[in-house]
A and B are shown apart, each in its own frame.
Chain A
Amino acid sequence: MKKSNKLNRREFLAAAGAAAVSMPYLIPSGVLAGPRRIGANEKITVAHIGVGGMGGHHLRDMINRRKKGQVNIAAVCDIDKNRLVNALKTAGPGVEPYHDYRYILQRKDIDAVVIATPDHWHGVQTVHAAECGKHVYVEKPACCTIEEGKAMVAAAKENNVSVQVGSQGRSQPEAYLAHRYLVNGNIGHVSRVDCFHYPSPEDNNPVPDSNPPAELDWDMWLGPLHWRPYNQRYCHGVFRWLLESGGGQIRDRGAHVMSCAMWWMGADGTGPVTVEATGTAPKKGLWDSAVLMDVTYTFKNPDWVLTWRQMPNNKLPKAEERTGKEPGGKISRPGYGAIYRGDKGEFIHWGGDGGTWAEKKARQWELPAGGKDVYKSPGHKEDWFKGIKTGAKTIMNIEAAAGVANLCVLGNLSYILGRKLEWDQANQTIVGDRQAQRMMSRPQRHPYHL
């Protein structure tokens, strides 16, 4: 065996090509395809991987875009047969159903994939899609481990594909207003951002392991995770409350609220120097993510502090009263957001995902002559389409998204380990803690790996 630092795409293709002589079935034709160039007025052909929950929302959204002539929908894929059948009915004729997403990656007529699978699949499927030349929209949080984030960034770059991560808060109208308000110094120099969120749920209905339902491919649901018996409390949807597959509210909503913070603070591409978390564990059941968490991230050069704090509902900041005529309408999810603390005042926003609501003073503020304007997203999917067609960097590109996901990952790691962590942003590594360093990656089951 020869020593090599890594198997890059070219070497992988060479290896696969060499193997083709004796084992041609090992070479998926799609692997050899780079991204197709798509004209400004041309339709993008998309496929959906994971069509329940948010995946169903994305499919319905894409059907609306199909009606407008923006896209073709070529395929839907799910490892739950019931969900697949339902998605097919929703999508209508001309859409091919798949159980194994890798058939989609083989198809040269498909330009882009929308990935809305459980979090533990995001990294692997994004990397695989990029290696097959597909543009990717992947649900947040981008990755479950530091290693996955690095691999996603590298795969997007090496294969020249556009990746948009589903922290769509950045594309909301009031996110633009908040961003503009903050960067123009209306509350002065901001040295602290305190994110707030209501508690994560506890598993109050634990059940023993059992056989998986007939419609579910449990082995493929697990995918990269190590094998374990099926339990109803793993899926669907509730995967979020398990540290391995979801990671609790700090990952589910942290990937939204902290995404806004990193963007508005101009901190994409930077990272904390220390991360310290404490939390309250659930008292029973399968779910193991913290019910309440208190995480402090310290940034240097420039110096600022970001916190993530979960608290009981009655302790949350009171939501602003609205008429419903504001750009973002009424605040329908007041249970999370962030307070920005500057040397001249404070600013608060609620939400941070599909609903992002900025405090009145930011909405009413008008950009003066000579003031600094900021990027205004045309919409999260539109921004992705622009990235696909022009090569422009998407608003929640994979570098930024991996950075935000790393905050969530490091917060959970500090909570799990019960100790403060030091982070080296330049080298993307934890410093001085060998166990934590090992936990920056998690070996994945064959063949569902990066």
Chain B
Amino acid sequence: MSTNSLKKVSLAAGAAGVMAQTASTALGQGVDGLIAGIKSSSDKVRTEAWLGAGKAGAPAVKPLAKVMTDNDLEVARAAKRALWKIVRYTGRPGANQERRAVETELVRLLGDDQPVAVRREVLWMLSEIGARRSIEAVAGLLKNEELREDARMSLERIPNRRALAALKAGFEAAPEDFKPNIAQSLRKRGEEVAGYPCKKLVPTKKTDVKPL
């Protein structure tokens, strides 16, 4: 099989996917069209919708977040994937303005009015594209028992001084049971932390299975 024929076969097989990537945005359906596609009962339509969501940008963030908790798990999953598409598209080089607009919308989803599952996903999205405007809201969740570990990891990944400062402040304010976690993030960011040595090699879970 020649190089060209191999490539043709592969490309033809992937053609549907490639077309889908551009379908919904090319049709200019806007956010309403996107959401309608995401809510479709057709696997094909839903997939085309989320694959084409990238360019929908900031205006689609809040509406998609709403659908992320839809009772139909495939619809909810498509909304989540659409939101990730937006994050990945707006994080591209040279798209700072778009990225900031999406970041702003994502930060708004970190409030107590949003379900934990949505906020957890948003924390990871911000870990990829978050910058200075994310820090305060993410750091605020270091006090939330359900989300503090994801907030810590999100801050660990955001490579600016504010994130580091937020981790330091979070460490000082953290309850004893959470200090080792933040200490780990601080070490990853090049800080030396006294009093909370790494516990990664300490076994904690015994088995009740007996040897033969």
Binding site for B on A (CB under 8 A): 1-7, 12, 15-16, 18-19, 23, 25-26, 28, 30-31, 81, 84-85, 88-89, 92-103, 105-106, 124, 128, 131-132, 192, 194, 196, 199, 206, 208, 217, 220, 226-228, 278-286, 288, 291-292, 294, 307, 309-312, 315, 317, 339, 341, 416-419, 432-435, 438-439, 441-449
Contact = CB atoms under 8 A, between A and B. Distances in A.
A434 B91 CA distance: 8
B63 to A, nearest CB: 21
Interface size class of B (residues with CB under 8 A): 35 or more
Contact of A81 (B7, B127, B209): B209
Contacts of B13: 199, 280, 292, 310-312, 315
Interface residues of B: mostly helix, strand, loop or mixed?
helix
Contact of B168 (A1, A100, A101): A1
B140 interface: no
A254 to B, nearest CB: 14
A3 B190 CA distance: 6
Interface string B103-136: 0000000000000000010001001110000000
B17 A281 contact: yes
A405 B35 CA distance: 37
B212 A102 contact: no
A344 to B, nearest CB: 16
A448 B204 CA distance: 12
Contact of A292 (B7, B10, B157): B10
B212 A95 contact: yes
A95 B211 contact: yes
Contacts, number: 211
27 contacts: A2-B192, A3-B192, A4-B190, A7-B187, A28-B201, A88-B212, A93-B212, A124-B200, A194-B6, A220-B205, A226-B120, A226-B153, A278-B17, A280-B13, A281-B51, A282-B47, A284-B43, A292-B10, A307-B7, A417-B88, A433-B92, A435-B92, A435-B128, A438-B127, A442-B157, A443-B157, A446-B149
The 4 closest A-B pairs by CB, nearest first: A280-B17, A435-B91, A443-B153, A102-B203
A339 B207 contact: no
B192 A418 contact: no
B202 A28 contact: yes
A5 B129 contact: no
Given A4-B192, A309-B6, A417-B92, A131 B201 contact: yes
A4 B191 contact: yes
Given A15-B197, A16-B197, A446-B180, A89 B6 contact: no
A283 B43 contact: yes
Q: Which of A95, A196, A442, A447 has the most CB of B within 10 A?
A: A447
Interface in B1-26: 1, 3, 6-7, 9-11, 13-14, 16-18, 20-21
A103 B120 CA distance: 32
A16 B206 CA distance: 22
A150 to B, nearest CB: 13
Interface string B26-60: 00000000000000000110110001001000000
B157 A438 contact: yes
Interface of B: 1, 3, 6-7, 9-11, 13-14, 16-18, 20-21, 43-44, 46-47, 51, 54, 73-74, 77, 81, 88-89, 91-93, 120, 124, 127-129, 149-150, 152-154, 156-157, 159, 168, 180-181, 184-188, 190-195, 197-207, 209-212
A30 B203 CA distance: 11
A113 to B, nearest CB: 13
Contacts of A286: 77
A149 to B, nearest CB: 16
Given A94-B211, A294-B11, 6 more contacts: A28-B201, A124-B200, A284-B74, A416-B88, A435-B88, A443-B154
Contact of B190 (A6, A31, A284): A6
A15 B205 contact: no
A18 B11 contact: no
B209 A88 contact: yes
A24 to B, nearest CB: 11
Nearest to A25: B202
A280 B207 contact: no
Contact of A3 (B11, B149, B153, B191): B191
Contacts of B168: 1
A220 B201 CA distance: 14
Nearest to A314: B9
B173 to A, nearest CB: 15
Contacts of A18: 197
B202 A447 contact: yes
Contacts of A92: 212
Nearest to B15: A280
